[in-house]
Amino acid sequence: MANPVALITGAAHRLGAHTAKTLHQRGWNVVIHYRSRETQARDLVENLNQARPGSAVCKQGDLALSEDIARVAEQACQHWGRLDALVNNASVFYPTPTAEATENDWQQIMGANLKAPFFLLQHCLPALRDSKGGVVNLIDIYSEKPLADHPLYCASKAGLAALTRSWAKDLAPAVRVNGVSPGAILWPEGEDAVDPTHQQAILAKTPMARTGQPDDIAGAIAYFLCDAPFVTGQILSVDGGRSLNM
């Protein structure tokens, strides 16, 4: 049997990279999508190919562009002649207070977090049906209980949760579709970094009293793709119990 193939968006770093490593360790070939982190993507591919030659490749694309979505999907399906999984991990996150949000903010956040997963799956669907494959969408616990001043982000993730359940019904039995909703795993970086006081406030509401690990998310994704052939339409919160106290 040929190795199964997964396309993982936004996989050059953070949770996407951990997911690629986890699936690779379980015998998958991986297509690492990236937008601008070419060096990180190529380094990851090189490391994976050293462990198992010819098992990883990277593809660049701006998922805000329809032509790039189509191209990345086509390249992913053609590289090994099959596609067994799509992991919609790439995401845009930043505050957009309602009084200040612009149409460009709407297009950026909704485009990356909702439009791109929809049309990427549309382009990948024939290959996924052929392989009786699976889809995992990275959602967020804020899709159900919104984060202040992030209405567009929360709406985009709530929409992706709805797509997850809709696809699970519409694409069965050929394709399974599930979601993973992370809690506090990796704090945001750069301008959106969370100050230590706010970090502690979040952890105080988390029954496990700590952040999770990237492998917690990667393991949940691997469960849906590798170990759950009778599970579809489910969204698993991997949040240390924080959604109980939001």
Active site residues: 153
Q: Are 190 and 95 in contact (CB under 8 A)?
A: no
Q: Please give the full DSSP string across the chain, using - where no structure is assigned.
A: -PPPEEEETT-SSHHHHHHHHHHHHTT-EEEEEESS-HHHHHHHHHHHHHHSTT-EEEEE--TTSHHHHHHHHHHHHHHSS---EEEE---------TTT--HHHHHHHHIIIIIHHHHHHHHHHHHHHHHT-EEEEE--GGGTSPPTT-HHHHHHHHHHHHHHHHHHHHHTTT-EEEEEEE-SSS---GGGPPPHHHHHHHHHT-TT-S---HHHHHHHHHIIIII-TT--S-EEEESTTGGG--
First-last CA distance in the chain = 46
